[in-house]
A and B are shown apart, each in its own frame.
Chain A
Amino acid sequence: MIAHLVDRAWLLSDSPQSRAQAALGSAYRLWCDFRANGPAFLGLVVVVILLLAAAFAPLLATHDPLIQNLGQRLQPPSADHWLGTDELGRDVYSRLLFGARVTLGIVFAVVVLVAPIGLAIGCIAGYYRGATDAILMRVTDIFLAFPRLILALAFVAAIKPGIGSAVIAIALTTWPPYARLARAETLVLRDADYIAAVRMAGASHRRIILRHIMPLCLGSLVVRVTLDMSSIIIFTASLGFLGMGAQPPSPEWGAMIATARRFLLEQWWVPLIPGIAILVASLAFNLLGDGLRDVLDPKQD
C-alpha cells in the first residue's frame, strides 16, 4: 500500500482496483495540477513556513518575546537582534514568531467556529426551502448588510477588548457568505437524481443532509475559507491596530504596529516589520486560495 504511493502508474491508472486507489489517484491528479501553478505553490510553501514558525516559536526565538530591556530600545537589526528591538527593548524577531501563533490561532478559531455554522444554516435553508429558508436567509441578509469592521468594533467595545472577543466579533461578521454559498450548492444538489435515489432507499432528512449534501458542499467551502483567511488576517490586524484586538503585551502583529506607530519617522523599521509580516501572510493565503480555486472549482473564472 505504502509502496504504491510513489508509483505514478498505479496512482494515475484509468481502471482503479479499489476505492482507496481511486481516491488517492484523484488526489494525486489535483496535486499535480496544483503544483504546476507557480504562485499557488509559493503560497503553500509560505503558509507551511508560517505554520512551522508558529508551532516551533519557542525553539526558533532568540529571546523571550516579553522580556523588556530598556537599555536596548529601538535598536536597528543586528547580529544579536535580527530584526531590531521595539520601544521597550523587546526582540522584534522573537515577537513576530510568537505573533504568528496569535494571528494563526485567531484565524483557526474563527474558521472552526464559522464554517460549520455557515454550512449548517445554508444546507438546512436550501434543503427544506419554504419558511425555514425565508427566515434563515433574511437573518443572513441582515448580517451581510452590516459594515463588518464597524459591527465588530462596537461588539468588542461592548464586551471587553481582547483575543476572545475579537474571535467572536470576526466570526459574527464572517459566517453569512458561507451560509449563502452552502445554500446555493444545496439548491442544485437537492434535486439531483442520486439524492432522489437515496431518499427512495429510505434515508432520513438528517442523513441526506449530513451524509450526502454537506460533503459535496465542502469543496467550494474550503476554497472560500482559504481565500477568506487573508481577509481574516487583515481584519485581526485592523482590530489590533485600533486597540480592540489582542492587548499589549501580546505580540499580535496589528497591536505591534499600533504601539510602534509613533516611532515611524525616526525608527521606521519598528512599525513596518510587523506590517510586512501581515502582508506576507495574507499574500500567501490569497495565492494559495486562488490556486485551490483553480484546481477544485474549475467552473469559476
Chain B
Amino acid sequence: MIKLGATASSLAITLFGLVVVTFFIGRVIPIDPVIAILGDHARPELVDRLRAELALDQPLTTQFWLYLGKLVQGDLGRSVMTSNPVLDDIRLYFPATVELGTTAMILSTLIGVPLGVISAVRRNSRIDQVARVVSLFGHSLPIPVLGLVSLLLFYAWLGWSPGTGRLGVAYVGLIPAVTGFLTVDALIAGDLEVFWDALAHLILPAAVLAYFSMAYISRMTRAFMIEALSGEYVITARAKGLSAARVIWRHAFGNIAVRLVTVLALTYAGLLEGAVVTEMIFSWPGIGQYLTVSLMNADMNAVIGATLVVGSVYMVMNMLADIVYRVLDPRV
C-alpha cells in the first residue's frame, strides 16, 4: 500500500514536470509568442493588447500559475488552424489513434508472444533465427520506410489495401459517432459495409505499427521464457512426467505472465509515439497527424495541447504497468 502511494506521488511529480516543460516550450523558448500569432507587421497597439491578454507582461511565475489554472479547468487554448478549442479538437482526433494503437497492440501480442515462447523452447532453431532477424529489423527499420514499402506492395502493386485514410469517401458520415472508433461504431449502427471498409483501412497501418512492438514483445518473451525454463520447478514438473505443452504453458509461461503484462503496457505507451509517424504516412486522422500538421503551421496551442495529452497518457500507462506489476507480484 505504501508503495502504491509512492507510485502515485511519483506520477504526480512526473505530470507536474510535463506541465513545467510544456510551459517552457510554449511560453519561454519562443522569442515572442505575440509576433508568432500576429506576424511581424502588426500594429503596436494590437501587439500590446494581445500581450496583456496572454498575460505576457506578468512575471514568469504568475504566468505559470495562470497556465496551470487554465489547464486544471481543461482550457488548452484555441487552435489557430481550426479555430476550435484545442481540447475539442483532441477529443475528435484521439479515438482514431486509440483505435489504431489498440489494433496494433492486439496484432503484436497475438504474434509476438507465441513467437517468443517458441524461440525460447527451440533455441537456435530455424524459427529462433527468423525471430532474431525480425527483431533486429524491428530495431533498425524506420517506420516511414516500412510504411511506404507496405503501401507500395499492398496498395499499389497487389491492390489488397484500399489505401490511406480511415474510410472510403463513399462511406464518410454514414454512421453516427458513438465511441469514435469507426469499426465499433459501424457495428453499433449495424452497418457491415462500413465496418468492413473501416477494417480494411485499419489493417495496414496497424500492421506496420505492430511490427515494431511485435519485435520487442517477442524478444522480451523469449528472454523471460529462457530464464523460466531453466528454473528448478520446471525441471521438477518435467521429472513428474507432465506433458511438454503443460510444462511450457502452465508452469513456465504462467510464471512470466506478470512480467509480460508489464512489458505489454509499456509497449502500448510506446505505440502512441510510433503512431505519430504512422499516421503521417497513412493520412490517418489521429492525434499524431493533428500534432504534425499543427507543427508545420506553428500552431503552438495545438502543439502544446497534443503534447500534454499524449504525454500524460504515456506517463499514466507507464505507471499502470508499474502498479500492475506490484499488485500481481507480491515479491516486489
Min Cβ gap B268→A in Å is 12
Beyond known contacts A145-B315, A238-B143: 18 more, CB 8 A cutoff: A139-B17, A142-B13, A145-B318, A149-B273, A150-B273, A150-B307, A155-B29, A159-B30, A238-B277, A241-B280, A243-B292, A254-B142, A257-B148, A258-B144, A265-B152, A268-B156, A272-B145, A276-B145
Chain A CB within 8 A of B295 CB? yes
Interface hits, A268-283 → B, CB 8 Å: 268, 271-272, 275-276, 278-279, 282-283
Does A237 contact B272, Cβ atoms closer than 8 Å?
no
B interface list, Cβ under 8 A from A = 10, 13-14, 17-18, 21-22, 25-26, 29-30, 136-137, 139-145, 148-149, 151-152, 156, 223, 269, 272-273, 276-277, 280-281, 291-292, 295-296, 298, 300, 303-304, 306-307, 310-311, 314-315, 318
Chain B residues within an 8 Å CB radius of A265: 152, 156
Does A257 contact B295, Cβ atoms closer than 8 Å?
no
Does A154 contact B307, Cβ atoms closer than 8 Å?
yes
Min Cβ gap B15→A in Å is 9
Chain B residues within an 8 Å CB radius of A254: 142, 144
Q: Given known contacts A230-B140, A242-B295, A275-B142, is B315 in contact with A154 (CB within 8 Å)? A: no
Does A242 contact B272, Cβ atoms closer than 8 Å?
no
- CA–CA, A268 to B291, complex, Å? 27
Chain A residues within an 8 Å CB radius of B273: 147-150
Chain B residues within an 8 Å CB radius of A231: 139
Residue of A nearest to B295 (CB): A157
Does A242 contact B280, Cβ atoms closer than 8 Å?
yes
Min Cβ gap B230→A in Å is 13
Main secondary structure of the interface of A (DSSP, over half): helix
Q: Given known contacts A147-B311, A158-B25, is B152 in contact with A244 (CB within 8 Å)? A: no
- CA–CA, A36 to B97, complex, Å? 46
- CA–CA, A20 to B269, complex, Å? 50
A interface list, Cβ under 8 A from B = 138-139, 141-143, 145-151, 153-159, 230-231, 234, 237-238, 241-244, 254, 257-258, 261, 264-265, 268, 271-272, 275-276, 278-279, 282-283, 286-287, 301
Does B311 contact A282, Cβ atoms closer than 8 Å?
no
Does B291 contact A241, Cβ atoms closer than 8 Å?
no
Does A230 contact B139, Cβ atoms closer than 8 Å?
yes
Min Cβ gap A215→B in Å is 29
- CA–CA, A154 to B140, complex, Å? 24
Does B144 contact A238, Cβ atoms closer than 8 Å?
yes
- CA–CA, A262 to B182, complex, Å? 27
Does B14 contact A241, Cβ atoms closer than 8 Å?
no
Chain A residues within an 8 Å CB radius of B311: 146-147, 150-151
